A and B are shown apart, each in its own frame.
Chain A
Amino acid sequence: MNEISIFDIAGPIMVGPSSSHTAGACKIGQFARALFHGTPRKVTFYLHGSFAEVYKGHATDRALLGGVLKMRTSDPLIKDSFKVADKKKIEYEFKKKFLGERYHPNTVEIVLENSRRKLSVIGSSVGGGVIEILKIDNFNIRLRGRAGKYLSLVVRHDKNKMVIPKLKEKVNALKGIRVHDVEQRTYKDKTLSILHTKGRRIKLPEVIELEKSMQHVDFIRSLSKLEKQ
């Protein structure tokens, strides 16, 4: 059951001016960066609906970029995220684009690129700083980012290879972590799985170890390093 936390209401602690247009936007950026893993050279933001109309005044652009630069929603540096990005030589661009009726008005598609990889993430800020990740590349998913609930692993692997049962076994073998739910979406010959875990946070070396030890896996990304409110 997806219950709302009282700290989703009494929070987040953030820099203004808008929870859905600034804090939520920042969180979507953070998610995209965590899923990309590594520094992107170029980031393109496709703004949809209300994001496209009023992003300037709400500093949605600065917050999205700030999130991609791993800033927290309460980080006063968000104000200067353009400068930080320039310093780090990350190119950024904002475009308006209608993504489709089915999306919430506060939605953005973030495309992160470097010389080898490209990743697209669609996320919505549904109010009060709560966000949903709805698409990763071609996979339609539904990842809810609520206070203190970022204990998921995102895995892309070949379809129909008994990858997930094996991975599940390995994750369960780690001390203090248990997989309690798996979601899967398939597109062509690839599958994107989301493993929701319980217990402690999974550490980065463990994730890298998992990624190395598994066959038929494109990548494993941990979302556990993301901001807890």
Chain B
Amino acid sequence: MKYHFQTAEDLIKLTKLHKVPISEIAKLYESQRSGSALSTIRNKMKLTRDIMYKAVKKGIKSNKKSIMGISGSDAQKVYESLKNLKKMMGNKVTVRAMAYALAVGEQNARMGRIVAFPTAGGAGVVPGVLFSAAEHFKAGKRKLLRGMFCASAVGIVIAEGSTISAAKGGCQAEIGAAVAMAAAGLTEMRGGTPEQCFDASAIAFKSYLGLACDPLAGLVEVPCIKRNAIGCMAAIGASDMVMAGVKSYVPFDEVVRAAKDIGRTMPRTIKETALGGLAITPTGNRLKKKLGLRITREL
């Protein structure tokens, strides 16, 4: 197994050995694993990109409410604000990234077609950050694919070392993982080294350790959709810090191990069960009642 990797350390070694970026190793790994040609894999990723792009474009236009009617028109609002950037504190890339992330989250809540990248709960962060950045760069489309491959490789490292299921590890495993992936993808798009990519991932992932998965009535809407938008800010911030020369004190592999440990010891009530945290606030319980769910306790 020439291109096999499970940890960031393996991955960095491979990039040094073959003198290629993380995205190339991801392609070669997939080609070796599945036996498909590199061009097939590139085309498959292009298809993934197109579906994500459609979800984004639909999401920023639509103001249809979700099935339960608790989310649905925020992406449009944020996207409109791009016209009046002077009023905003974030720059164009970050505000647009937030709009895109909200768009994907809202499409998901409407049961529209999206790409779970890595999961549906955190599906907004990677397209948000990478698409917004791609529009900023020259030759953005090609760089975008590199970013997506790099992000996927980081996702594999997290899935191997910990989990990407919120039912097992809380929100850190879904949006946290997505933020780490997006940070690495963006760093590679900007020309960062593999080490810098993982530094950005580590900084981003550390900020999301221990995050509870406590959605209202168990719906992937509140707080998930807006958390995706904020996740974009975190990913861009981590990447910016790394490009300014900051390093992560704890290596990425150790952060993943920490995530696993936290996931294991986290109480069941805040692991996608809607039995704790925001889900049992008076607002959360009101929604539960509306849906006919059992109310266990109230804060």
Contact = CB atoms under 8 A, between A and B. Distances in A.
A106 B114 contact: no
Contact of A7 (B30, B153, B275): B30
Give the interface size class of chain A.
Answer: 35 or more
A148 B36 CA distance: 11
Interface string B162-176: 011111100001000
Interface stretch (A12-20, A86-94, A160-168, A207-215): A12-20
Contacts of B272: 50, 54, 105
B34 A5 contact: yes
B116 A12 contact: yes
A78 interface: yes
A155 to B, nearest CB: 25
Given A6-B29, A50-B167, A14 B120 contact: yes
B165 A128 contact: yes
A16 B168 contact: no
Interface stretch (A35-43, A55-63, A114-122, A177-185): A55-63
Nearest to B70: A57
Interface string A103-128: 01110000000000000000000111
Nearest to A10: B152
A106 B181 CA distance: 24
A156 to B, nearest CB: 30
Interface string A63-83: 000000000001010110000
A78 to B, nearest CB: 7
A9 interface: yes
Given A20-B167, A58-B220, A50 B273 contact: yes
B68 interface: yes
Contacts of B165: 20, 106, 126-128
A15 B219 contact: no
A208 B273 CA distance: 43
Contacts of B47: 13
Interface stretch (B9-17, B102-110, B186-194): B102-110
Give the interface size class of chain B.
Answer: 35 or more
A3 B4 contact: yes
Choose among A1, A12, A74 the residue with the greatest number of B CB atoms under 10 Å from its CB.
Answer: A12
A128 B111 contact: no
B221 A17 contact: yes
A6 B30 contact: yes
Contacts of B181: 9
Contacts of B219: 17, 54, 57-58
Contact of A1 (B1, B29, B30): B1
12 contacts: A3-B4, A6-B153, A10-B45, A15-B112, A15-B113, A15-B114, A16-B108, A16-B110, A19-B119, A19-B121, A54-B272, A54-B273
Nearest 3 A/B pairs, CB to CB: A127-B165, A54-B218, A16-B108
Given A17-B219, A54-B272, 18 more contacts: A3-B4, A3-B29, A4-B159, A9-B164, A10-B48, A10-B115, A15-B111, A16-B220, A17-B220, A18-B220, A19-B116, A19-B121, A49-B273, A53-B274, A56-B291, A106-B167, A127-B173, A128-B159
